[in-house]
Structure 1
């Protein structure tokens, strides 16, 4: 009688590979922080200890709990929305052959909708950084 031999024991937990990957990731993060602390220069000065906001001087208003411009939040939300919409393209690309013409038409409608939203935001000035 010829039976197939399994390479995984029957008592193996299916979560072990996930835990091992998590442990490797955690170990790499800890190693990176410790290696940077041990090998990096330790010359601190006033400029290094100041807050850094993308090359511009930090505003005291934001540090004291002041308001951020609404434009900041709108830009962040637009980025998240368009980023999530792009993520939907990956499963479609993987199963493109299986979906056939129906999948192509549906994705054309989806991309058209995204393009209309993008054009609307562009015309309204939502992408201006002023």
Structure 2
């Protein structure tokens, strides 16, 4: 009589090899990187690179303008719009209802775009 767990033995071996490999990579990377990295820190090398401009404030806890977040949300909104438009543009011939669904989606986004434009969301400096 054959062992009932024998069909799963290759899967178990694969999981063990993966776990050992992951552990070895994590252990060796920490040790080898500390051993191989150069040890000549300089003030210029320790400062964060901000497009060639020295940082104005120290630390990461400083206030951003609300316009930054509003611009980011508008970017995400129109990025999602582009993500929805691509499948529709590829497959719109197969179902007419997708045309009307996308038209209503675009109309809703157009209303939001006009509202954001009217509120001055696209003007960085006021």
| TM bracket (short chain) | 0.5 to 0.7
Query: Aligned-pair distance for 1:85?
Result: 1.8
Aligned to 1:125: 120
Structure 2 CA distance for partners of 1:51 and 1:110, relative to 1, 3 Å: same
Aligned to 2:17: none
Aligned to 1:81: 77
- Structure 2 unpaired stretches of 5+: 1-41
Aligned to 2:56: 59
Give the whole-Å Cα distance in 2 for the aligned partners of 1:94 and 1:104.
Answer: 12
Structure 2 CA distance for partners of 1:73 and 1:60, relative to 1, 3 Å: same
> Which has a greater percent of helix?
2
Where 2:115 maps in the other structure, the secondary structure is helix
Aligned to 2:67: 71
Give the whole-Å Cα distance in 1 for the aligned partners of 2:107 and 2:123.
Answer: 23
Aligned to 2:92: 96
Runs of 4+ with >3 A deviation: 48-58
Structure 2 CA distance for partners of 1:49 and 1:122, relative to 1, 3 Å: farther
- Structure 1 unpaired stretches of 5+: 1-43
What per-residue deviation string (whole Å, max 9, x for no partner) do you get for residues 2-57 of structure 1?
xxxxxxxxxxxxxxxxxxxxxxxxxxxxxxxxxxxxxxxxxx995x8754546766
